[in-house]
Amino acid sequence: MPLDIPVENYETDVLVVGGGAAGAMACFECADAGVKVILASKSRPPSGTTSVARGGFAAALGPDDSPALHLAEILENGGELIDPELAGVWCEGIIDVVKDLRDWGAEFVTNDAGELDLKMFPNHTKPRAVHHFDTTGNMVTKTLAKKLRPDQRIVQHANTSIMDLVVEGGRVVGAWGVNYGKGVLVAYSANEVILSTGGGSGLFYVNDNPPQVTGDGYVLGFRAGVPLLGIEMIDFQAMCCSPEELFGFAPHPTGFINAGAVFRNRDGELFLKRYFPDTAERSTRSEVILAMAKEIHAGRAGLTGGIFMDATEVPIETIQKQIPHVYKTCLHRGIDITKTPLEVAPGSHTWLGGLQINVDGKTPLDGLWAAGETGGGIHGGNRIGGSALSSALVFGRRAGRAAATAAKAESAKTGKVDVPGDASDWLADLIARDEGPLQADVRLRCRMLAHEQLGSIRSADGCNAALVEYAEIEAEEIPRMRLSDEARSSKKVKAQELESALSVKNLALLGGLLATASLAREESRGAHYRTDFPDTDAANWSAVTRLEQGPDGEIVFHKDPLKQDAPSAGA
């Protein structure tokens, strides 16, 4: 069946996939190095989850602080499983990134002397969070936008979703996808490809990420032969489950806690004192989330399935100073947090594992790099506050710089890349099909399955059930999927639904990967609680899970020992 969607072909030295903080930083480095770079992003870049960062990000800039101390605290409180070499270059690299962001116009809060107002975050012994009150991510996004969007050296393809990598001769030579803004397929020839597509929070029904964040980088790299490390580890955050107007909104629990808020169950009990008598609300984020999940699992949740984050006894002046954006957002939706507690439950915020990389973001596959949430080994079984955005900025810069150097060294240019024939046939069948499940319904099934079986509380039965159902979705639902009737009359709707349908393929595989690693880890760690293995098993599970694709497309599981010796970070 002939494919009726035109294909546009492009050639570049470096293709950056994903337009968040990591992607933007990578593009700046490529442009400054003088190599051709194309940025392909699902939304208008900069985009992605950068704006989700609220309270600030950590950088050891205080007079009595150092990257070495910052690194030590990450390794101590990060739930183990961290590659200390990756964490070391991150703690050092963020110092220069903050300086550059300020030069680019970043409006971090300062004191009267013009010095950065560094906030204290849980699990840090020094105040080191640079911030813009509780809208830090939005401010950083605007700063990057002012630098990125006018830069004519960076070719920017918005509304473009990369669907697969092209591998020839043991190296990545490009990628193909859908530009659903123009309604065309796109194929890119590139000497180097950087994946900075964010995490996989879109797999979960409850999350605070943009809907386009569907774990594409994990799946693209895995299918191309790159190992996935620690993919079962997810940073769950408290997100609103009531009222409906706030569903999925992440109300910045760290900011609430710093302001003096408390957590209560359905009976009004300050339950964190029962779990953690000495630290209560000052416990690690993963401990707080796990205690929330246990309360919900034990039947002590509110009517809509959550527990209550209570700031009713916090002075209004403190709330307006420390979490003004959250206060105004809730107030705009008819909720005054000084009078009414928010009902919240754990939702997917960031993913802690990812593709195997070295300190420059290089994967084991020639021509392929990963940065930001797509890279693995940077975070462990828990992510202490202020880490996600800072690591994305650093590794985006490092990957861009190294990929540009590699692209310059390539003597032979990659030949033309096209959309593979089998992919074209699959797309043609999908477009023509008028019977079968709607792609939107299959997508929802993938998300609800993760929500019900692979959240903060897991079990062998739940993981096995997820594996069976995701396999069924891949074998029976996806081959019969169809687009909506509206896609037949609108090229734009057709392209948008193609992007969504192809992301369903990624979500189903990602669900199977998550279930496989979650089932294998027979212990509880960080915010991840196995009902059948309730204790942390350091003797057997101070180890990193590694998933690889087998010769027949199967998921192959490995368990790797931790890297023990941390390098010395600069003072």
Q: To which H or E segment does residue 11 belong?
A: strand 7-17
pLDDT at residue 3, as a whole number: 58
DSSP notation for 369-430: EE-GGGB-SSS-SS--TT-HHHHHHHHHHHHHHHHHHHHHH--SPP------HHHHHHHHHH
pLDDT at residue 412, as a whole number: 63
Q: Say yes or no to pLDDT of 568 above 60.
A: no
Distance CA 507, CA 544 (A): 23
3-class secondary structure, 207: strand
Percent of the chain with pLDDT over 90: 74
pLDDT at residue 77, as a whole number: 85
pLDDT tens per residue, range 329-363? 999 999 999 999 999 999 999 999 999 999 999 99
pLDDT at residue 2, as a whole number: 52
Q: Say yes or no to pLDDT of 470 above 80.
A: yes
| Eight-class DSSP state of 120 | P
Helices (H), 215-307: 216-224, 253-259, 272-275, 285-297
Residue appearing with tokens 């899970």: 545
pLDDT at residue 53, as a whole number: 81
Which among 136, 154, 172 is positioned nearest to 55, based on CA atoms? 136
Please tell me the total number of residues recorded for the chain in this structure.
571
Give strand pairing partners of 116: 110
pLDDT tens per residue, range 399-417? 999 999 999 998 666 678 9
Sign of the CA dihedral 398, 400, 401, 403?
positive
Tell me what the mean pLDDT of segment 471-498 comes to.
89
Phi then psi for residue 281, to 5 deg, are: -65, -15
| Eight-class DSSP state of 252 | -
Percent of the chain with pLDDT over 70: 97
Distance CA 473, CA 426 (A): 16
pLDDT tens per residue, range 40-83? 999 889 888 888 788 899 999 999 999 999 999 999 988 789 99
Judging by DSSP bridges, how do beta strands 354-355 and 228-229 pair with one another? antiparallel
Judging by DSSP bridges, how do beta strands 171-179 and 457-458 pair with one another? unpaired
DSSP notation for 69-91: HHHHHHHHHS-S---HHHHHHHH
| Eight-class DSSP state of 568 | P
DSSP notation for 498-517: HHHHHHHHHHHHHHHHHHHH
Strands in 307-310's sheet, in edge-to-edge order, are: 234-242, 342-351, 307-310, 262-264
Half-sphere exposure of 494 (CA within 13 A, CB side): 19
pLDDT tens per residue, range 197-249? 999 999 998 898 988 899 999 999 999 999 999 999 999 988 998 778 888 88
Tell me what the mean pLDDT of segment 168-193 comes to.
92
| Eight-class DSSP state of 50 | G
What is the signed CA dihedral for 328, 321, 304, 122, rounded to 10 degrees?
Answer: 150
Which of these ranges, 28-32, 451-455, 518-522, has the smallest mean pLDDT? 451-455
Contact indicator for 439, 214 with CB cutoff of 8 Å: no
Q: Say yes or no to pLDDT of 510 above 50.
A: yes
pLDDT at residue 1, as a whole number: 46
Name the average pLDDT for the chain.
92
Contact indicator for 207, 354 with CB cutoff of 8 Å: no
Distance CA 496, CA 523 (A): 41
Half-sphere exposure of 187 (CA within 13 A, CB side): 18
pLDDT tens per residue, range 281-320? 988 778 888 999 999 989 999 988 899 999 999 999 999 9
Please, which pLDDT band fits residue 147 given cuts at 50, 70 and 90?
very high
pLDDT at residue 468, as a whole number: 98
**Type of residue numbered 4:** D
pLDDT at residue 414, as a whole number: 67
- For the chain, list the domains and their CATH numbers: 7-233+353-409 (3.50.50.60), 241-348 (3.90.700.10), 421-537 (1.20.58.100)
Distance CA 513, CA 519 (A): 10
Buried b (16+ CB within 10 A) or exposed e, 439-476: beebbebbbebbbebbbbbbbeebbebbbebbeebbee
pLDDT at residue 495, as a whole number: 75
